[in-house]
Amino acid sequence: MFTEIIEILDRFLSFFEQSLAFLGHHLFLIFGLLAIVASVTMVFAKNAVHSVLAFLATMICTAACYFTLQAEFLAVAQLLVYAGGIVVLFLFVVMLVELSRFKENRLFQRQTPLAMFVVLLGVVGFLTMFRRLIFAPSASEALTLSPELAEGLDVAGQNAQAISRGMFTGYLLPFETMSVILLIALIGAVVLAKQERV
Amino acid sequence: MPFAQALWESLARDSRLVTPVILLWLAGTLMLWPLGSLLLKRMPKDRWAFFTVAILLLSGWFVINTPNAIGFADMFRVDGVTKGFQILCIAAGILTVALGRQQLGALKEHSVEYYSLIIFSISGMLLLVGATDLVSIYFAVELMALCVYILVGYLRTQERAVEASIKYFLLGAFSSGILLFGISLIFAATGGTTTNLERLGQAIALAPGNQDLLVFSGVLMVLIGFAFKVAAVPFHMWSPDAYEGAPTPVTAFMSMAPKAAALAAFIRIFGTGFNGVAENWIAPLSFIAAASMILGNIAAFKQQSIKRMLAYSSIGHVGYMLLGVLAMDSQAGAQAVWFYMMTYLFMQAGAFAIVIYLQGANEGERIEDFKGLAKRRPLLAFAMMVFMLSLAGIPPLLGFFSKFYLFRLAIIEGYITLTVIALLTSAAAAYYYLNVVAQMYFKEPGEAAPPPVCICTKAIVALCSAVLLVGTAFGPWIMDWVGKIVWG
């Protein structure tokens, strides 16, 4: 009796362990799927607040994806900036702005069949692409990252260092350009919102 | 610290390549603060036009004196093509500022921000035409386009301006997403090592066979992203609305500068980066070029608004210029496109100067408003005729030579069908251009007395028609000089 219970518990534990290991190996896929589900929810949610919450879930799942790829810095930045800052702003805006007026407004209804067709075409195209990529004979070889990049992943411990080096050496010009782009966004907000001009 | 020292040395070496850009960034920022909002607050706002022109001229001088080199970890390259297109963008900026001064003054919509946005947009174009890496290309495109989105909605009290701006912004953001997705697919397909165009060209050739589809979809998406930016059919939907809704000087700007810069990047990407996988993009691009020529020119027929007509005709012109991208020889293609863009810039600037004059005269922007212009303002009407005939490519005007060299290149490269389509559509296009001329010369004018012509309009019209007429005399030789500029 006692041994049987132990055996069942043991089996259960090993099954649990195995499934945990399975999950651990496929965390990226799981969080990726969750992110997709959340983003679809965001698009189709009737209530704007639900939509924003789904957006938050998408952002957190994306951050988790970065974690599984050992890009800790990116993941933390994603959590801080998007999940922490931007989504809260969105929530504020949604709560301040009266959205009930737009509820009955069914925009773009005429184009729905065409849009469905295009989306189906895209889905079929991408499924074909993934099938050919994943089940092709030399797939395992082609899908592995190049040695140089794999080395980069080995030093994932110094993730922030690697990113900062990239920003100030190889990617200096795009990085500086991006700072100007942010400035333009600021100017644009002022130009479009300022009351009088003279 | 060896790392910091090496960083500093490479920065000192590379920053010479982008002196004009740094100048524009500094000037654009200083204009906002402290000059515009603190030190020169009392200065009349339209003076900033002169300041902007001076800054642009100075940056043009810097462009000419930049050494030919590659820098920023192979992300930016200065050569003849870069310099040639950079000068075109700066010239377009100067013409825009001159075009807009009077109209913005009449609308009481002058502000420092307008000029600084133009400066920042041009800095993005200067970066774009020299960019040799998909990452730097993407950021330069964004910098260039973001400023133009804002400028389109600049007259934010007008409903159609806001509508045009939002439409343009949403579609532009969408196309940027497609462009970025395409870049990431190519990056993955080539092993995730490089985004540099030259190395990418080699890596694509070495990519394993089962990556074909990945490369194909990536190249196609980059193609779509750029077709959006140059407003080629079937990705042209935003262009007529954005052209109509934007303030007219900004419309002129949109039809000249971003197109020149995007076409230069187009040639660089597809000429050097994706040269090895030409079979992936030749057919779609040929389709895009042919569709742009046909649809752009046919749709221009029935337009009542001259701004919409010029928008559709610019779609047609982009179709012609894509012939230069299709020519796999990127130097010769760049040369022909540069020459075409140069003449197109002067024709557009001149035509828009006259449209702005008519708008200032409280007449709308409909083609009917041109009626009888020959009786009221014979010189302006003559200049408009020159611009229209040149846009139609009627010999012996300069517009004919630019078309001639482009079509000759296309024939040499073996695109016979496309060239035939181009010839037929440009013959058909003569109809709607000549319609404007007929309105001016064969219709009776309205009663109202013609308003005075502002000095800026006079200067631009005189400059543009002089370039076109004098250039006509040197048409047969001009290509050699262009060659000297573009080959560097």
Give the contacts of A159 (CB within 8 A, at least 6 positions apart): A70, A71, A72, A73, A74
Q: Quick check: B399 and B343 in contact, CB under 8 A?
A: yes
Considering only residues B349 and A112, tell me which one the structure prediction assigns the higher pLDDT.
B349
**pTM confidence score:** 0.88
What distance in Å separates residue A186's CA from the closest CA in chain B? 11
pLDDT confidence of residue A132: 66
pLDDT confidence of residue A127: 80
Residues in chain B: 488
User: Chain B residues with CB inside 8 Å of A173's CB?
Assistant: 18, 72, 75-76, 127, 136, 139
Q: What is the average per-residue pLDDT within B420-434? A: 93
Rounded distance between C-alpha atoms, residue B72 and residue B70, angstroms: 7
Give me chain A's average pLDDT, please. Answer: 78
pLDDT confidence of residue A140: 42
Rounded distance between C-alpha atoms, residue B347 and residue B353, angstroms: 10
Q: How do residues B449-486 score in pLDDT, each as one tens digit?
A: 777 888 888 899 999 999 988 888 887 788 788 887 77
pLDDT confidence of residue B451: 76
Minimum mean pLDDT range among A116-130, B189-203, B291-305, B474-488: B474-488
pLDDT confidence of residue A147: 46
Exposed/middle/buried for residue B275 (C-beta within 10 Å: 0-12, 13-18, 19+): middle
Q: What is the DSSP string of A70-108?
A: T-HHHHHHHIIIIIIIIHHHHHHHHHHS--GGGTT--TT
Minimum mean pLDDT range among A63-72, A139-148, B282-291, B345-354: A139-148
Per the structure, the count of domains in chain B is 1
pLDDT confidence of residue A138: 46
pLDDT exceeds cutoff 50 at B65: yes
* Chain position carrying tokens 């797939």: A139
The structural domains of chain A, with segments of one domain joined by +, span 1-99, 110-144, 147-198
Structure tokens at B206: 């070495």
Q: What is the average per-residue pLDDT within A6-14? A: 83
Are A146 and B7 an interchain contact pair (Cβ–Cβ within 8 Å)? no
| Residue A132: closest C-alpha in chain B | B210
Q: What is the DSSP string of A1-17?
A: -HHHHHHHHHHHHHHHH
Residues in chain A: 198
Task: Output Rg (C-alpha) for chain A, integer angstroms.
Answer: 24
Residue B194 has what DSSP assignment?
A: -
| Residue A140: closest C-alpha in chain B | B210
What distance in Å separates residue B210's CA from the closest CA in chain A? 6
Element (H, E) at B91: helix B80-107
Domain enclosing residue B401, as ranges: 2-487
Most trustworthy range by pLDDT among A71-85, B357-371, B393-407: B393-407
Of B75, B120, B210, the CB nearest to A139: B210
pLDDT confidence of residue B488: 63
Are B143 and A177 an interchain contact pair (Cβ–Cβ within 8 Å)? yes
Rounded distance between C-alpha atoms, residue A83 and residue A63, angstroms: 9
What distance in Å separates residue B149's CA from the closest CA in chain A? 9
pLDDT exceeds cutoff 70 at A105: no
* Chain position carrying tokens 């982008």: B18
Residue B366 backbone phi and psi in degrees, to 5: -85, 155
Residue among A168, A191, A195 with most chain B CBs within 10 A, to mutate: A191
Rounded distance between C-alpha atoms, residue B485 and residue B482, angstroms: 5
Are A173 and B217 an interchain contact pair (Cβ–Cβ within 8 Å)? no
Q: CATH class for domain A1-99?
A: mainly alpha
Are A174 and B138 an interchain contact pair (Cβ–Cβ within 8 Å)? yes
pLDDT exceeds cutoff 90 at B332: no
Q: Taking Cα atoms as reference points, which of B263, B379, B380 lies closest to residue B324? A: B263
pLDDT confidence of residue A89: 85
Q: Quick check: B114 and B154 in contact, CB under 8 A?
A: yes
Give me chain B's average pLDDT, please. Answer: 89
C-alpha distances in Å from residue B250, one per residue of A113, A185, B307, B360:
37, 18, 11, 15
Task: Provide the number of CB pairs (under 8 Å) joining chain A to chain B.
Answer: 107
User: Chain A residues with CB inside 8 Å of B29's CB?
Assistant: 183
Q: Report the SS3 class of residue A153.
A: helix
pLDDT confidence of residue B296: 93
pLDDT confidence of residue A137: 53
| Residue B134: closest C-alpha in chain A | A174
Give the contacts of B471 (CB within 8 A, at least 6 positions apart): B343, B398, B401, B478
Are A191 and B114 an interchain contact pair (Cβ–Cβ within 8 Å)? yes
The answer to whether the Cα torsion of B178, B179, B180, B184 is positive or negative is positive
Which residue type, as a one-letter code, is found at position B345? L
pLDDT confidence of residue B466: 92
- CB count within 10 Å of CB A44 equals 10
Q: What is the average per-residue pLDDT within B440-450? A: 80
Q: What is the average per-residue pLDDT within B114-137? A: 94
pLDDT confidence of residue A141: 42
Are B127 and A128 an interchain contact pair (Cβ–Cβ within 8 Å)? no
Residue among A135, A158, A173 with most chain B CBs within 10 A, to mutate: A173
C-alpha distances in Å from residue B338, one per residue of A156, B64, B321, B331, B478:
46, 16, 9, 10, 12
Rounded distance between C-alpha atoms, residue B225 and residue B171, angstroms: 10
User: Chain B residues with CB inside 8 Å of A69's CB?
Assistant: none
User: Chain B residues with CB inside 8 Å of A151's CB?
Assistant: none
Q: How do residues B37-51 score in pLDDT, each as one tens digit?
A: 788 888 888 889 999
Of B140, B150, B154, the CB nearest to A177: B140
Q: Report the SS3 class of residue B476.
A: helix
Q: Taking Cα atoms as reference points, which of B404, B410, B391 lies closest to residue B290? A: B410
Q: How far is CA B487 from the centre of its chain?
A: 21
User: Chain A residues with CB inside 8 Å of B146's CB?
Assistant: 181, 184-185, 188
Rounded distance between C-alpha atoms, residue B373 and residue B439, angstroms: 8
Q: How do residues A114-163 score in pLDDT, each as one tens digit?
A: 888 888 988 888 787 777 665 655 444 433 444 444 454 444 456 677 77
Q: What is the DSSP string of B99-167?
A: HHHHHHHHHT---HHHHHHHHHHHHHHHHHHHB-BHHHHHHHHHHHHHHHHHHHT-STTSHHHHHHHHH
Q: How far is CA A53 from the centre of its chain?
A: 14
Residue among B104, B107, B150, B186 with most chain A CBs within 10 A, to mutate: B150
pLDDT exceeds cutoff 70 at B255: yes
pLDDT confidence of residue B365: 81
